[in-house]
Amino acid sequence: MSVSEGSSRGRFGGYGGQYVPETLMSCLLELEKHYASAKADPAFGTELQKLLREYSGRPTPLYFAGNLSRQYGGKARIYLKREDLNHTGAHKINNCLGQVLLARRMKKQRIVAETGAGQHGVAAATVAALFQMECTVYMGEVDMERQRPNVLRMELLGAEVVPVLTGSRTLKDATNGAIRDWVTNVESTHYILGSSVGPHPYPTLVRDFQAVIGQETREQILAAEGRFPTHVIACVGGGSNAIGIFSAFLDDDVRLFGVEAGGSIHGHAASLSEGLPGVLHGAYSYLLQDDDGQVAMAHSIAPGLDYPGVGPEHSSLKDSGRVTYVRVTDQDALGGFSDLSKLEGILPALEPSHAVAFTRQLLANGADGADLIVINLSGRGDKDIESIEEMLKS
């Protein structure tokens, strides 16, 4: 299958690599080459920073959640990194702005993207409109149903949303659809992958574009508290918001927690806690598998966490023990959602509600030296209110 699976390029520990058919290798090499030249070009960085500032509204605030801190025992000061205040309502735009600039550099006129929650699809459709490129977004039929408002948003932004009817009709299948389109139309098309997953160089470039979250947090917490946090907590789907904030603290004495979807009796999406290493979407990483080694169905109330794989860098950080990965159930995540809504007046997305719920558990169980916590609030909850209403009824 792979051309370079034995090489160290794009490897995190033993994870990552490029497990792709020959036809994809040229696309990946082209992307890698242009990314390297963009990184070395100060004009690229200047333009990206300008867009992040003027278009997306960065830096996002680091907000001290006083009521939540008091409610969760009062021993720890809890801060929220407000990625929900980005244009389009989540951290996804950071990566999309970076990748659309790469697409223009590569002279592509068309964008394809996959989406689960619809947040990445909306962010991709947004940057495509901004740069006047054509945009096609692949989305599982099941996700289209539970995230209607985002489907409408993408269409209003001028994108075509293609329903994916194969497999579990969720994010994994949408990703297959986007990859297939990319291989077929590679001359004209750039694939904006939405998380730190997939074949090299995606996990690296998506991390780099999301690293702005951690860089800002580092400066902001030092300005506010004069020291680093004891704990940084982020939800993990593919892992991009988590690696974005973790990357700034990996070399410091800061405990890092990645929170996976523990789901319900219907299943879960805890690839790191419950999975085994295997290959999905071009990379070797932890993966939910059945007894025969087939990719298993993921389940979470948070559509952005509903993915059976995870980024290869997280697999390596799990094995080294640098990051602790934990799981939170659907039910507890709803509690986190409710706490933040009622105590702080912030409706969080269901994805980071998992990180809020874990913070509550951590502090209820003796806190483990946690006295200064940053939660990465990866997105806002407007997209989820209909499905939350349904769940609270049932």
Ligand X SMILES: *Cc1c(COP(=O)(O)O)cnc(C)c1O
Q: Are 265 and 299 in contact (CB under 8 A)?
A: no
Token representation of residue 38: 């963009």
Q: Is 336 in the site for ligand X (CB under 6 A)?
A: no
Candidates 144, 192, 235, 287; binder of ligand X (CB under 6 A) is 235
Q: Contacts for 381-384 with beta carbons within 8 Å, 24 or more apart?
A: 381/84, 381/337, 381/341, 381/347, 381/348, 381/349, 381/350, 381/353, 382/89, 382/149, 382/347, 383/89, 383/117, 383/118, 383/119, 383/147, 383/149, 383/150, 383/349, 384/302, 384/337, 384/349, 384/350
CA atoms of 253 and 245, how far apart (whole Å): 15
Taken in order 245, 251, 257, 259, is the CA torsion positive or negative? positive
Candidates 77, 92, 190, 207; binder of ligand X (CB under 6 A) is 92
**Part in contact with ligand X (CB under 6 A); list of ranges 219-227, 240-248, 259-267, 292-300:** 240-248
Candidates 90, 112, 139, 254; binder of ligand X (CB under 6 A) is 90
Site string for ligand X, 190-209 (x = CB under 6 A): -----x--------------
Token representation of residue 18: 């490029």
Q: Which is nearer to ligand X, 100 or 355 (CB)?
A: 355
- We find the least distance from the C-beta atom of residue 98 to ligand X, in angstroms, to be 14
Q: Is 379 in the site for ligand X (CB under 6 A)?
A: yes
Q: Which is nearer to ligand X, 4 or 119 (CB)?
A: 119
Q: Which is nearer to ligand X, 59 or 238 (CB)?
A: 238
* Beta pairing, strands 15-16 & 11-12: antiparallel
CA atoms of 344 and 350, how far apart (whole Å): 16
Candidates 86, 88, 119, 359; binder of ligand X (CB under 6 A) is 119
Q: Are 234 and 355 in contact (CB under 8 A)?
A: yes
Candidates 241, 247, 300, 353; binder of ligand X (CB under 6 A) is 241
Q: Is 95 in the site for ligand X (CB under 6 A)?
A: no
Q: Which is nearer to ligand X, 164 or 235 (CB)?
A: 235
Facing residues of 264 across strands? Answer: 267
Q: Is 313 in the site for ligand X (CB under 6 A)?
A: no
Radius of gyration of the chain (CA): 19
Q: Is 240 in the site for ligand X (CB under 6 A)?
A: yes
Token representation of residue 267: 């299943």
- We find the least distance from the C-beta atom of residue 121 to ligand X, in angstroms, to be 10
Q: Are 124 and 115 in contact (CB under 8 A)?
A: yes
Q: Is 175 in the site for ligand X (CB under 6 A)?
A: no
CA atoms of 26 and 29, how far apart (whole Å): 5
Q: Are 246 and 323 in contact (CB under 8 A)?
A: yes
**Part in contact with ligand X (CB under 6 A); list of ranges 67-75, 117-125, 172-180, 323-331:** 117-125
Candidates 173, 260, 351, 384; binder of ligand X (CB under 6 A) is 351
Candidates 126, 150, 353, 378; binder of ligand X (CB under 6 A) is 378
Q: Is 239 in the site for ligand X (CB under 6 A)?
A: yes
Query: Judged by CB under 6 A, how many residues of this single chain contact ligand X?
Result: 21
Q: Is the peptide bond before 21 cis (omega within 30 degrees of 0)?
A: no
Candidates 62, 113, 117, 178; binder of ligand X (CB under 6 A) is 117
**Part in contact with ligand X (CB under 6 A); list of ranges 19-27, 213-221, 336-344, 347-355:** 347-355
Positions annotated as catalytic residues are: 92, 114, 378
**Part in contact with ligand X (CB under 6 A); list of ranges 61-69, 113-121, 246-254, 282-290:** 113-121
C-alpha distance from residue 322 to each of 250, 257, 258, 367, 377 (Å): 8, 9, 11, 19, 21
Q: Is 213 in the site for ligand X (CB under 6 A)?
A: no
Q: Return the residues of window 41-80 that contact ligand X according to CB under 6 A.
A: none
- We find the least distance from the C-beta atom of residue 365 to ligand X, in angstroms, to be 24
Q: Which is nearer to ligand X, 77 or 142 (CB)?
A: 142
Q: Are 323 and 258 in contact (CB under 8 A)?
A: yes
- We find the least distance from the C-beta atom of residue 267 to ligand X, in angstroms, to be 17
Closest CA to 100 of 125, 117, 83: 125
Q: Is 238 in the site for ligand X (CB under 6 A)?
A: yes
Q: CB neighbours of 38 closer than 8 A, spacing ≥ 6?
A: 44, 101, 102, 105
| Contact residues: ligand X, CB under 6 A | 90, 92, 117, 119-120, 195, 235-242, 304-305, 349, 351-352, 378-379
